[in-house]
Amino acid sequence: MVLVLLFFLVVFASSCTTTAVPQEEVNYLEKAEYYKNLKDYEEAVRWFIKAAEQGDASVQNNLGGIYFYGYGVKRDYKEAVKWLGKAAAQGNMDAQTSFGYMYETGSGVEQDYKEAVTWYQKAAEQGHARAQNNLASMYYHGHGAKQDINQAIHWFHKAAEQGDMDAQNNLGFMYENGSGVKQDQDEAVKWYSEAAEQGHEGAGEALKYLGSE
């Protein structure tokens, strides 16, 4: 079993929620949503770009996701990096998490584990569960930072307590095998069970192996 490292991007289907934005930007968003609902994605993206250019981080994050996945536009990692980078620099934790993933995997940027850790850390400190799980995995494997099992356990717990099923599964694995923690089957079953209840297949298989399904 391996520790899972996943990421999260806000996809095109999600709404662009903003606060205290200029009326002009609201109109841009309204038009973008209007064309999106008509499934005229090319026109929707044109209006999302106008809205993102006004500087709202949540819109920039969504636009970065649009280019990353290629919704209504040709997939363009360079544009994804551009808009996610703008949002991440403003402190948007979803964008920071996605930016960290791009650096970790070399998607649209040169692979750089240290840079990935930097962005995961920023998002994790804001309470982003996915970033916390990913940061924990980086510490566990010693990617981009000195291997630090205590830090891995700390961030896995933070994410697991928020309900992140991969972090829950990862904790189950660590307690089952005594990896950086005292081996504790009861604790392993606890975390595997929480992950399995959310549909995590690996956790379900682990419970079967432990005879605790």
Q: Is 84 helix (H, G, I), strand (E, B) or coil?
A: helix
Residue 4 in this model has a pLDDT that exceeds 70:
no
- Does the pTM surpass 0.85? The reply is no
Cα separation of 134 and 8, whole Å?
10
Residue 10 in this model has a pLDDT that exceeds 50:
no
Q: Is the dihedral of CA 142, 145, 148, 154 positive or negative?
A: negative
147 Cβ neighbours under 8 A, 6+ residues apart: 139, 140, 141
User: Which amino acid does the sequence have at 178?
Assistant: G
Cα separation of 206 and 213, whole Å?
8
Cα separation of 95 and 11, whole Å?
11
4: which 2 tokens?
A: 């899972």
Cα separation of 200 and 29, whole Å?
36
For the chain, give the mean pLDDT: 88
Q: What is the DSSP letter of 76?
A: -
pLDDT score of 25: 56
Other CB atoms within 10 A of residue 132 CB: 28
Given pLDDT bands bounded at 50, 70 and 90, which one contains residue 23? low
**Distance from the first to the final alpha carbon of the chain:** 17
- Percentage of residues in the chain having pLDDT higher than 90: 70
Cα separation of 74 and 76, whole Å?
6
For 121-157, how does the pLDDT look when each residue is reduced to its tens digit (9 = 90+)?
999 999 999 999 999 999 999 999 999 999 999 999 9
Average pLDDT over residues 59-85: 92
Cα separation of 200 and 127, whole Å?
22
Residue 60 in this model has a pLDDT that exceeds 60:
yes
Other CB atoms within 10 A of residue 81 CB: 21
Which residue has tokens 């379900």? Answer: 204
Given pLDDT bands bounded at 50, 70 and 90, which one contains residue 29? confident
pLDDT score of 2: 44
Q: What is the DSSP letter of 204?
A: H
Cα separation of 70 and 205, whole Å?
34
Q: Is 20 helix (H, G, I), strand (E, B) or coil?
A: coil
